[in-house]
Structure 1
Amino acid sequence: MAPPPPPPLPPPPEGARPPEPAPGPPRFPTSIPGAGAGPAMAFPRPRPARPELPRQRVQSLQCGQGAVRAARFNADGNYCLTCGSDKTLKLWNPHKGTALRTYQGHGYEVLDAAGSFDNSQICSGSADKAVALWDVTTGQVVRKYRGHAGKVNCVQFNQEATVIVSGSIDSSVRCWDCRSRRPDPVQVLDEAKDGISSVKLSDHEILTGSVDGRVRRYDLRTGQLCSDYIGSPITSVCFSKDGQCVLAASLDSTLRLLDKDTGELLGEYTGHRSTTYRLDCVLNEQDTHVGCASEDGHVYFWDLLEGSLALSLPVGQGVVQSLAFHPRLPCLLVATQGQVTLWREDTFQPEGDPGT
């Protein structure tokens, strides 16, 4: 037999308030009071901070190598290499202004160098036509690669440091196997009609700039070659960090941004002077600005999208020989004559300064 239903609750006395419901988990309002039936209110998102550009000099390295032909950060930006006209290569901690080691073994001036991603090896190219592989710790030459018929302007490691890619005034790009004892290159790229001035590598691509006025991109996965004609001799090329664009500097005092896949011209940047020397171009660490060395003692930066000049930085007398941007920070290496300077953003406080 079913139990009888509970008796109904007595009605509340006249004037009494109804009981409040038991407290539950807090709830967010589904509408904003006073908003009516219109669309939900949108709060503006905070704008990201404007990227800063290097404006203050924080270190000066008196290299003692004659003219410094190139200054290059290592993969993580903690160290740098300087290439001298006195045939030497030097390793530095540029943030502290400390020279760590000198490498000697080339027969003529050293024109370019690069460090492996694990910081254990260095490769260098020289006017003696040789590519050298160095042990960072011992300072000794592990191997020399000979095969170029002219001075070696540029060198790069692949990401695993198993291959060195070199570009020469002899119009060829050569790939050398670091693990093999064979003296010959494993591949020769000889499509250029004049000297190779610049080489850059991504995980599966080789990018080259040549005095014949062409930017060439070799896709190692498909074996394809893409060539874009600029017209003026190319002095430097580089990939954007997102891998979608290519930046090229040339001797008509113009910097050009190209779509990597289509070759479409995305932007042109002018205002610097580049008519005679092989000058570097860079993108900053956030891909928001493009920069270039100049023959008038300045480094110039432009807004990548707007094309407007963002900074004209006076860095020294005469030609700016080399330029390198830190991979992660607003930090710039500049070589002028026999000196390398390190530049940081205005808000940077060197160690030991008040407020650090």
Structure 2
Amino acid sequence: MDKNIKDITYNEEEKSLRFFLKDRPIVVYAPSDIGENYEMTKVSTTPSRRLKLDWVYGYRGKDCRSNLYFLPTGEMVYFVAALVVLYNPEEQSQRHYAEHTDDVKSLAIHPDNMTIATGQCAGHNGMEKRPHIRVWHTVSLHTQAVIGLNDFELSVCCLSFGKADGSLLVAIDEAPDQTISVWDWQKGENGHKITETKCSVGTIVAVEFHPLSRNTIVTCGKSHIAFWSLKVNGTLYKRMGIFDSRLEPEYVTCINFVENRHVITGDSNGSLALWMWGTNKISKYGARVHHGSVFCICVTKDGNYITGGGKDGRLVGFDWDLQPTGVVTKIKEHFGGISMISEGRFDQILIGTTRNCILLGILGRQFQPIVLGHSDEVWALSPHPNIPQFATAGYDRVLRLWDSMSHTILWSKDIEEQAQSICYTRDGTCVVVGCLDGEWMVFDVQTRELLGEYIDGKEPIQVITFSPDGTSVAMGSRNSQIYIYQVSDGGTKYSKVGRCSGHSSSVTHLDWANDNQTLRSNSADYELLFWNAGTCCQIPQSSIARDVEWATNTCTITFTTVGIWPENADGTDVNCCDKSHDAELLVTGDDFGKVKLYSYPTSQPRSLCHSYGGHSSHVTGVNFLYDDSRIISIGGNDTAVLQWTVS
């Protein structure tokens, strides 16, 4: 007799579950010790243990600016993914504002230096889909106002508090018809919109209230600078900046204020312009002080200023009259260009870079990295088998080894290929990296030396996993093949055994059994297949493998993971999962930026879970560390690496 819960069916005779992913029927067989007493209607409760966000690795500097500041609390504030990070480099501590539901795109500091406004882009569903602004306090992390839930279309890309008393807030909506709006944010829980108007100019990349005028706002962007006046009746009046025709840049890229009066701008030609207070004309011009765009201008306490080049990676000092001070510093090329400069404590300078790094130093001297992150999609994650370390790699062609206890990068290496997958050898002495072009490489963890290069097909190597005894490795490719190799000499030598053919789509997940011979695999079209790795032959009857003991559970389509699939799942909802080593917990990462924690096995349909936000992109990898004390998750497009404690 069959029992049904909507589209899920349990066959008591075969002891099998049948469910659907994107209208495709999936059949999974219950282990013998479960099948006899399996009750599909039983509710699987949430686990007693929970996750807490411990550390955020990364920074968003590649496409955002004005997002790195030093606070009176001794912390620096910046954002990555859907998180705002408050990091104290002296105490090596982090706090996190985690109320956003998708990418944070803008940040502004109130004149009191304790209140912050952050703007986000549209999210995934329901209320979360609406872009908005959150105003919050840096000590308590308490949200003071949520602004514009029904007013913004795409993304709040620029923000600025009024410099007088901070009661006004100006925002730019990154919609096709960009709009500028001014808010009295302290009126009610959702603020009061004073005015809104279409900008009627090209793309806006920066907005600032003038420090000496409550009613003057400056914007800049594609081929323009605009001076806005907020009238008593709430309307905005605009005057466009006038360029000498030979000086007009493609973009005016950044704004600041000299002596709190005159406006200074940088542009895509690498030039600076000084606009006298009360005018819309250039009074002084500094041509091509940088090679490429000037991405930021920092006015220092002594009234001088520092410019940062987005392409040349140089910091150049000027006095208030646009005269060079002679101080020039160039950051190391592998950190990228300079996207943000702000003053730190004493004479320290903070630098955000276009390769998502944060540097700290003194002008004229060498700057040291204090935050390092990936600068492109992150797809590869592997925990060390014996110690609290892990490895990541991605489309930025950088392999990184991290220490979860000290929250530091042990080393980084440019591997010159975009990475899709990674796995430590069983003794942890080597890592194997799978690339987008079918190549895979073996690196020595201690020396960083490349020990070997191999190639299987021309498609990405999607997944790599070693057998429990470390003598074999299986690699799943986007070309639907699984390649089996024999491993020798401590993970440094590889001999091909053969390939497993039978999937009709890209191989996405692999698990070894404890017998070191049996494999199971999932594919992009929701197949679950079983294999004899020694002969590279498919095991034709899935029911034969029902009592196999699996060393891992990273396959998302198995009997023990049925409960992770939401109702009406289309198969792409859940990207990754991992079973804890004590076999009590299962963690998943999904397309909606969520990390979820379940009790294991997760065999009841629609099992209950704890759900956690933080990522703003599809979660591409999630793993328990060797002792189950922590979980690491990686986001694809958000480039973030998040570390969670299990308690």
Question: Under a length normalisation based on structure 1, what TM-score does the superposition of the two structures give?
Answer: 0.67
Structure 1 CA distance for aligned equivalents of residues 559 and 540 of structure 2? 11
Given the superposition, is the C-alpha separation of residues 278 and 271 from structure 1 closer, same or farther in structure 2, using an over 3 Å criterion? closer
1:211 aligns with 2:510: no
Structure 1 CA distance for aligned equivalents of residues 529 and 404 of structure 2? 33
Structure 1 CA distance for aligned equivalents of residues 547 and 581 of structure 2? 9
Correspondence list, 1:226-245, <5 A = 226=539, 243=550
Q: Deviations over 1:148-196 (max 9, x none)?
A: 2311111122345443321111111112344499997321111222211
Is residue 163–residue 175 contact of structure 1 (8 Å, CA) maintained in 2? yes
Structure 1 CA distance for aligned equivalents of residues 587 and 51 of structure 2? 13
Selected match of 2:53 from 50, 54, 57:
57
Structure 2 CA distance for aligned equivalents of residues 103 and 215 of structure 1? 35
Q: Deviations over 1:31-70 (max 9, x none)?
A: xxxxxxxxxxxxxxxxxxx964342111222223422112
Is residue 123–residue 164 contact of structure 1 (8 Å, CA) maintained in 2? no
Is residue 508–residue 524 contact of structure 2 (8 Å, CA) maintained in 1? yes
Structure 1 CA distance for aligned equivalents of residues 536 and 554 of structure 2? 22
Is residue 247–residue 281 contact of structure 1 (8 Å, CA) maintained in 2? yes
Selected match of 1:78 from 369, 388, 399:
388
Structure 1 CA distance for aligned equivalents of residues 472 and 509 of structure 2? 17
Is residue 51–residue 286 contact of structure 1 (8 Å, CA) maintained in 2? no
Q: Which structure would you say has the larger RCO, counting Cα contacts within 8 Å and 6 or more residues apart? A: 1
Given the superposition, is the C-alpha separation of residues 149 and 82 from structure 1 closer, same or farther in structure 2, using an over 3 Å criterion? same
Partner of 1:302: helix, strand, or coil?
Answer: strand
Correspondence list, 1:132-143, <5 A = 132-143=441-452
Cα distance, 1:299 vs structure 2: 1.5
Partner of 1:268: helix, strand, or coil?
Answer: helix
Structure 1 CA distance for aligned equivalents of residues 495 and 428 of structure 2? 25
Is residue 402–residue 408 contact of structure 2 (8 Å, CA) maintained in 1? yes
State how many pairs are aligned: 275
Is residue 388–residue 626 contact of structure 2 (8 Å, CA) maintained in 1? no
Is residue 72–residue 333 contact of structure 1 (8 Å, CA) maintained in 2? no
Is residue 145–residue 183 contact of structure 1 (8 Å, CA) maintained in 2? no
Is residue 381–residue 393 contact of structure 2 (8 Å, CA) maintained in 1? yes
1:300 aligns with 2:596: yes
The corresponding residue for 1:189 is 500
The corresponding residue for 1:46 is none
Is residue 487–residue 495 contact of structure 2 (8 Å, CA) maintained in 1? no
Given the superposition, is the C-alpha separation of residues 267 and 296 from structure 1 closer, same or farther in structure 2, using an over 3 Å criterion? closer
Cα distance, 1:114 vs structure 2: 0.7
Cα distance, 1:293 vs structure 2: 1.0
Is residue 240–residue 283 contact of structure 1 (8 Å, CA) maintained in 2? no
Given the superposition, is the C-alpha separation of residues 274 and 327 from structure 1 closer, same or farther in structure 2, using an over 3 Å criterion? farther
Cα distance, 1:130 vs structure 2: 0.4
1:268 aligns with 2:563: yes
Structure 2 CA distance for aligned equivalents of residues 221 and 190 of structure 1? 14
The corresponding residue for 1:286 is 582
The corresponding residue for 2:79 is none
- Equivalent residue letter for 2:538: L
The corresponding residue for 1:100 is 410
Structure 2 CA distance for aligned equivalents of residues 331 and 240 of structure 1? 29
Structure 2 CA distance for aligned equivalents of residues 65 and 171 of structure 1? 29
Selected match of 1:322 from 605, 621, 636:
621
The corresponding residue for 1:343 is 644
- Equivalent residue letter for 2:550: G
Structure 1 CA distance for aligned equivalents of residues 550 and 497 of structure 2? 26
Is residue 164–residue 176 contact of structure 1 (8 Å, CA) maintained in 2? yes
- Equivalent residue letter for 1:76: N
Given the superposition, is the C-alpha separation of residues 193 and 186 from structure 1 closer, same or farther in structure 2, using an over 3 Å criterion? same
Given the superposition, is the C-alpha separation of residues 89 and 226 from structure 1 closer, same or farther in structure 2, using an over 3 Å criterion? same
The corresponding residue for 1:15 is none
Cα distance, 1:240 vs structure 2: 11
Is residue 116–residue 122 contact of structure 1 (8 Å, CA) maintained in 2? yes
Is the radius of gyration larger for structure 1 or structure 2? Answer: 1
Cα distance, 1:291 vs structure 2: 3.0
Is residue 150–residue 168 contact of structure 1 (8 Å, CA) maintained in 2? yes
Q: Deviations over 1:82-140 (max 9, x none)?
A: 11211121111123211012233342x21111111221111110102101111111112
Selected match of 2:460 from 105, 126, 151:
151
Identify unmatched segments of 5+ residues in structure 1.
1-49, 230-238, 250-255, 260-265, 347-356
Structure 2 CA distance for aligned equivalents of residues 214 and 121 of structure 1? 31
Is residue 331–residue 345 contact of structure 1 (8 Å, CA) maintained in 2? yes
The corresponding residue for 2:511 is 200
Cα distance, 1:208 vs structure 2: 1.6
Given the superposition, is the C-alpha separation of residues 246 and 82 from structure 1 closer, same or farther in structure 2, using an over 3 Å criterion? closer
Partner of 2:539: helix, strand, or coil?
Answer: strand
Task: State, as a whole percentage, how many aligned pairs show the same letter.
Answer: 14
- Equivalent residue letter for 2:508: S
Cα distance, 1:282 vs structure 2: 1.9
Given the superposition, is the C-alpha separation of residues 150 and 61 from structure 1 closer, same or farther in structure 2, using an over 3 Å criterion? same
- Equivalent residue letter for 1:170: N
Structure 2 CA distance for aligned equivalents of residues 150 and 224 of structure 1? 22
Given the superposition, is the C-alpha separation of residues 228 and 244 from structure 1 closer, same or farther in structure 2, using an over 3 Å criterion? farther
- Equivalent residue letter for 2:511: K
1:114 aligns with 2:423: yes
Is residue 552–residue 578 contact of structure 2 (8 Å, CA) maintained in 1? no
Given the superposition, is the C-alpha separation of residues 223 and 103 from structure 1 closer, same or farther in structure 2, using an over 3 Å criterion? same
The corresponding residue for 1:34 is none
Is residue 593–residue 615 contact of structure 2 (8 Å, CA) maintained in 1? yes
- Equivalent residue letter for 1:118: D
1:333 aligns with 2:632: yes
Partner of 1:280: helix, strand, or coil?
Answer: strand
More deviation in 87-96 or 323-332?
Answer: 323-332
- Equivalent residue letter for 2:439: A
Is residue 511–residue 550 contact of structure 2 (8 Å, CA) maintained in 1? no
Partner of 2:496: helix, strand, or coil?
Answer: coil
Cα distance, 1:142 vs structure 2: 0.7
Is residue 553–residue 577 contact of structure 2 (8 Å, CA) maintained in 1? no
Is residue 389–residue 625 contact of structure 2 (8 Å, CA) maintained in 1? no
- Equivalent residue letter for 2:433: S
Cα distance, 1:320 vs structure 2: 1.6
Structure 1 CA distance for aligned equivalents of residues 604 and 571 of structure 2? 25
Structure 1 CA distance for aligned equivalents of residues 378 and 598 of structure 2? 26
The corresponding residue for 2:336 is none
Partner of 1:316: helix, strand, or coil?
Answer: coil
